[in-house]
Each structure stands twice: as C-alpha cells, then as structure tokens.
Amino acid sequence: MKKDKTSFFEDVYEVVKLVPRGRVTSYGAIAHYLGTKGSARMVGWAMNAAHGLDDVPAHRVVNRQGLLTGKNHFATPTAMQERLESEGICVSNDKIENFKDLFWDPSIALGL
DNA sequence: TGGCTGACTTTCG
DNA sequence: ACGAAAGCCAGCC
C-alpha cells in the first residue's frame, strides 16, 4: 500500500499526479497544501527529483506568474511548453495564457 | 553535527 | 515597472 515514511517528495508527487490534464498548479499552492512540510522552494526541489519519473507531470507545475521557470531543468527547454500545448494549454513566451483560469489548487480540488 | 543547495515568493529600493 | 536581497525548510555530503 503506502510507505509509512512519507518523504516530502512523495507528497509532492502525489499532488502533482492529481493535477488534471490541461490544468496547471504552482509551487506555492503545493507548498501551501502540504502545509508546514516545506516552502515553495522545496516543491521545486522535489520536482527536480520528480522530473525523472514519468508518473510526475512536472511540466504542469509552474511559478506564481504561470511562467515556465522549470523548463530549463527538463530534457529540453522546449519540452515543457510542448507538453503543455499538447494538453491544450496555450503557452506564449514561456508563459501560460489564461493561467488564472487554468490554475488548479489542490487545497480546493481536494475539497480542503 | 554542521553547512550547502535549490524549478519560489515576497518585499524593499 | 524592474532589480536585488531576504526568508523559507527539507534533503544531501
């Protein structure tokens, strides 16, 4: 089932995997959802380990402005944008269009 | 044990 | 509006 010892990363993975296709979330939102488990930086750092996992759509995680700040850590800087566009998300100049509408907050989606 | 790091966020200038 | 700096905290050496 699940491991009793839930690392901060695993919690982040679970949340990111819960992000619906065609939606995006922010580091701060995940950090806020996890609560005291860490700060927004920790989320980004967790993604650094997550990008190696196909189960974790790290490309759906962007910063507060909807900018693809983490694209630089992907296999290719364009992979992130291409992936988002592939899911129906409009990206312009490394920024998500209508980000406010596409924003997906785990705290809300999970009914917290 | 102690110190460095990091894909963010917010605030001051 | 833009730039730089501080705050944040868990993982790794």
pLDDT tens digits, one per residue of A35-63: 888 899 999 999 988 888 889 999 999 99
Nucleotide nearest to A40 (CA to C1'): B8
Three-class DSSP category at A80: helix
pLDDT over 90, % of chain A: 67
Q: How far is CA A95 from CA A16, A29, A66, A76, A90, in A?
A: 19, 18, 6, 16, 9
Rounded Cα distance between A91 and A112, Å, is 29
* Mean pLDDT, chain A, whole residue set: 89
Give the DSSP per-residue string, A1-59.
---SS--HHHHHHHHHHTSPTT-BEEHHHHHHHHGGG--HHHHHHHHHHHTT-TT--GG
Determine if strand B comes within 7 Å of the CB of A39.
yes
Stretch A4-29: mean pLDDT: 90
Taking the CA of residue A36 and the C1' sugar atom of nucleotide C7, their distance in angstroms comes to 15
Stretch A62-81: mean pLDDT: 91
Taking the CA of residue A99 and the C1' sugar atom of nucleotide B7, their distance in angstroms comes to 18
Rounded Cα distance between A105 and A28, Å, is 10
Taking the CA of residue A1 and the C1' sugar atom of nucleotide C6, their distance in angstroms comes to 41
For the domain covering A5-105, report its CATH number. Answer: 1.10.10.10
